[in-house]
Structure 1
Amino acid sequence: MKPLEGRIALVAGATRGAGRGIAMMLGEKGATVYCTGRSVRGKPASGPKRPETIEETAELVTSKGGRGIAVRVDHTVEAEVSELCERVKREQGRLDVLVNDVWGGDELAEFGLPFWKLAPEKGRLMLDRGIYSHILTSRYAVPLLLERNQGLIVEITDGDNFGYRGNVFYDLVKMSIIRLAFTMAWELRRHPAITTVAVTPGFLRSEAMLEHFGVTEANWRDGTKVDPNFIASETPFFVGRAVAELAADPNVARKNGRVLSSWQLAREYGFKDVDGRQPDWGQYFTETFGRPYPVAGDAEYATWSNGPIETVCADWPKE
């Protein structure tokens, strides 16, 4: 049997990018994966330039050996999220893995502008899509984990450090996701078989990024002519394999409440990207910029990210 055969996963935001890669790699290990998002065939939510759909993702999950199920959901709409989770319970009777990867903020980010010049309506929508959607999805999905008192929750973020991310709203979203993983771990502390972590990819070679650089996966190295750092990029399947390894790890609870990176987990679990490489954004950063990439555990990093929840919160009230 494959290690995740019989397991039920929900990847919220599986249309493209990291979400699609995660869904497919969970399928590769045998999981049944509910692939959700707003873009369906004949009705793309991200405009005509983005052709990816959740149906296509579900089919790719199945092609990898799992079972993909596409469900059109706007994760900022409570009724739709509630119905999704009721459907999972009705059809499967359980949920084992929740991956919160909803985003939809790329077209909203106004990089290069100070916060006093940003469009407030764009910023508020980014917060709704990037933070509220995660909280709302967890609100209705986590009770399914609680019914069996076990499972894994993964919050997908961007970066595992306090470096500024170039836009105040974007920065707030990605840092809030890390904090959300910690707070959920804290509130679930009496359920030690339920683990919550945040996971970040490195320089993600997503469909949108390939298009931005005018390349394809076949000739992606030509993208280094636009940005030489692209040489250290990774496919969405790399972070996908990171999440799949976490889901299959019987000792994953040791990572509870932490923020983890694809390259760190690749070293630990020994997996590689689908192209045979093992990109290490942290090492590349150090070698290229002459200083260590700040990761969880460094002095400048918040102490709450530096260990399992029971260690970090040893001095906190238990009630």
Structure 2
Amino acid sequence: MERESGNNGQRASETDTSASKPLAGRVAVVTGATRGGGRGVAVMLGEAGATVYVTGRSVKGRPATEGRTETIEETAALVDERGGRGIAVRTDHTEEEEVKALFERIGREQDGRLDILVNGVWGGDALTEWDKPFWEHSLDNGLLMQRRAVHSHMITSRYAAPLMVARRQGLIIEVTDGCDYRYRGTLYYSLAKISTIHLAEAMAADLKPFGVTALAITPGFLRSEEVLDHFGVAESNWRDAVAKDEHFAQSETPYYVGKAVAALAADPNVSAKAGKALMSGDLAEEYGFTDVDGSRPNWNTYYAKTFV
């Protein structure tokens, strides 16, 4: 909003825009943005002013996940509503040619500019068999999980990185579960989530000489659409589920990790975090943001007090 007229007013308006839209002019890709954390990240990048390529496999009339109706077009529309520009591109990130075509398109449409890549593809919930030792877990499901949640990230980064390296700037974020290398209860799930942490660490080393930063981020107890359905609640009455699981009181919306990603992308000193694995709650305390309901949950702190 302009506060003054003339040149001073113009400068004030530009300052306001910079403050409210710190990512204006930036180009981002958020993979796995159909729902959950991916959608939350895409929307918050849009709110910060970015142009966001929203990718995934579920499009209108062609859902890719049984029982889920969310689409990348819906996510792109939410990006638009928040003041960004959402561009939905159906992409199977396990298919190299589709990924290559995506980044060739971005190169053409954005004059070679790519500022942010968020590798959020997961697709492993239906494949995970909890409470089974690895030799009883379906090998096919376990290997497919690595294909979806690790190989897809590798393929995507392979074709995104050259755009960033050419301009000697950019940020690649790996979305994972947890900040450390502890065992996560079942081998294939654990392998997928830990692998993405190491991908960030390894890419950071390779990209450092070119001014590009890579890091990993994890939400806490994510209140995604699927989790809300699991507990039989909606976002409007989610606290009713605390009676079923007391830890659910520490849950967070998908927009919380989205705000964390937007804060990182706007931080001129983000390179200091290269190679690290970070949590939404810790970043909320560092950057001073809250979840959309005004809360500031920190699963790291809660976990340390409750389980360790």
TM-score, length of structure 2 as denominator length: 0.92
Q: What CA deviation, in whole Å up to 9, does each residue of 1:279-311 have, x standing for no partner?
A: 11122223333x3xxxxxxxxxxxxxxxxxxxx
Question: What secondary structure, in the 3-state scheme, does the structure 2 residue paired with 1:116 have?
Answer: coil
Counterpart residue identity of residue 232, structure 2: G
2:78 to 60, 79, 82: 60
Structure 1 unmatched runs, 5+: 292-319
**Structure 1 position 172 matched with structure 2 position 185:** no
Counterpart residue identity of residue 162, structure 2: P
1:245 to 250, 263, 272: 263
Aligned to 1:299: none
**Structure 1 position 131 matched with structure 2 position 146:** no
Aligned to 1:310: none
Whole-Å separation in 2 of the counterparts to 1:33 and 1:265: 22
Aligned to 2:46: 27
1:9 to 28, 32, 39: 28
**Structure 1 position 73 matched with structure 2 position 83:** no
Question: What secondary structure, in the 3-state scheme, does the structure 2 residue paired with 1:278 have?
Answer: coil
Aligned to 1:84: 102
TM-score, length of structure 1 as denominator length: 0.89
**Could you tell me how far 1:227 is from its partner in structure 2?**
1.1
Q: What CA deviation, in whole Å up to 9, does each residue of 1:142-201 have, x standing for no partner?
A: 11111111010000000012332121100000000000000001111212x211110000
In the TM superposition, what are the counterparts of 1:269-288 in structure 2 within 5 Å?
269-288=287-306
Q: What CA deviation, in whole Å up to 9, does each residue of 1:16-35 have, x standing for no partner?
A: 00000000000000000000
Counterpart residue identity of residue 64, structure 1: R
Aligned to 1:145: 164
Whole-Å separation in 1 of the counterparts to 2:130 and 2:304: 25
Q: Determine which structure has the larger helix proportion and give its number.
A: 2
Aligned to 1:303: none
**Structure 1 position 218 matched with structure 2 position 244:** no
Q: What CA deviation, in whole Å up to 9, does each residue of 1:202-255 have, x standing for no partner?
A: 000000000000000000011112211000000000000000000000010110
1:263 to 281, 285, 290: 281
**Structure 1 position 44 matched with structure 2 position 72:** no
Whole-Å separation in 2 of the counterparts to 1:75 and 1:56: 19
**Could you tell me how far 1:139 is from its partner in structure 2?**
0.5
Counterpart residue identity of residue 201, structure 1: P
**What's the % identity of the aligned pairs?**
59
Aligned to 2:206: 187
1:157 to 173, 176, 181: 176
Runs of at least 4 residues off by over 6 Å: none
Question: What secondary structure, in the 3-state scheme, does the structure 2 residue paired with 1:253 have?
Answer: helix
Whole-Å separation in 1 of the counterparts to 2:27 and 2:103: 12
Aligned to 2:214: 196
Whole-Å separation in 2 of the counterparts to 1:166 and 1:256: 28
Whole-Å separation in 1 of the counterparts to 2:306 and 2:121: 31
Question: What secondary structure, in the 3-state scheme, does the structure 1 residue paired with 2:236 have?
Answer: coil
Matched positions, count = 288
Question: What secondary structure, in the 3-state scheme, does the structure 2 residue paired with 1:122 have?
Answer: helix
Whole-Å separation in 2 of the counterparts to 1:216 and 1:163: 32
